[in-house]
Amino acid sequence: MGQPARQPHEYIRNGTAKLLTLFHPATGHVRVKGVTSSANVVLHPWLKAELSTILRSLPEAPPMDAETNRQLWEAWQEGLSFPIRLPSELPALRMLLIWDNLRGHYTVDLVLWLLAHGILPLYTPLGGSWLNMSESMQRILFQRGLAGQHPETPLEIISLLEGVATGWNHDPTPFEWGGKRAARRQRSRQRRHALGGSGACTRRPIRRSHNLLQKWQSSCRTSH
């Protein structure tokens, strides 16, 4: 008789794979590139190339006077503890880029390039990576791409992740607050029934014995 397939239990570190990611929540489309290093010399050229491609696909910005345009830029920084010091001349605002607080994201040359192309970078708070939806997108790709697999090299990991990203883009799921995902979670909560005061739940309500309840009520009356 045959034996089931088995995976080796030893952990061997043959290198590191990283996934550069740009995610558009409104459409669900994701742009990725697998790399073995995310240093600025790798990250910045990829960002500029991908953002330039996205900008070319956007419709032309409506005409706007300089003062109104500046107010639009400043409105997105209202309430921030450390707003970016905007240059005196600003192009039309074309895009918001939400990312975390990596040191490379504060590089002066990169930030000036973004502003010159109508892109306003917004930084998530420290410890607030959950506000960056690309983190959620990466978790989905990792789970789908690596589940049940046994890659042995960074290149194999990169191939799996880029492949699953390509498949995702064939039928992407938009991310929106209070959207279909939130509705599914709400319906799921409605199908659960709490067990007493614990955190456990059942999928259907537990039938309660009326006889036991009556006996308990009767004993309470006699004890008083």
Domain ranges of the chain: 18-170
* Cα-based distances in Å from 157 to 31, 47, 102, 136: 16, 21, 23, 18
Q: Which of residues 186 and 106 earns the better pLDDT score?
A: 106
3-state SS, one letter per residue, for 12-70: CCCCCCEEEEEEECCCCEEEEEEECCCCHHHHHHHHHHHHHHHHHHCCCCCCCCHHHHH
Q: Which of residues 23 and 221 earns the better pLDDT score?
A: 23
pLDDT at 223: 47
Q: What is the mean pLDDT of residues 5-12?
A: 68
pLDDT at 209: 57
Mean pLDDT of the chain: 84
Lowest mean pLDDT among 88-102, 111-125, 175-189, 193-207: 193-207
Q: Topology of domain 18-170, per CATH?
A: Nucleotidyltransferase; domain 5 (3.30.420)
- What is the share, in percent, of the chain residues with pLDDT greater than 90? 50
pLDDT at 76: 93
Residue 114 pLDDT exceeds 90:
yes
Q: What is the mean pLDDT of residues 63-76?
A: 93
Residue 192 pLDDT exceeds 80:
no
pLDDT digits (tens, 9 = 90+) for 128-180: 666 778 888 999 999 999 888 888 899 999 999 999 999 999 999 888 766 66
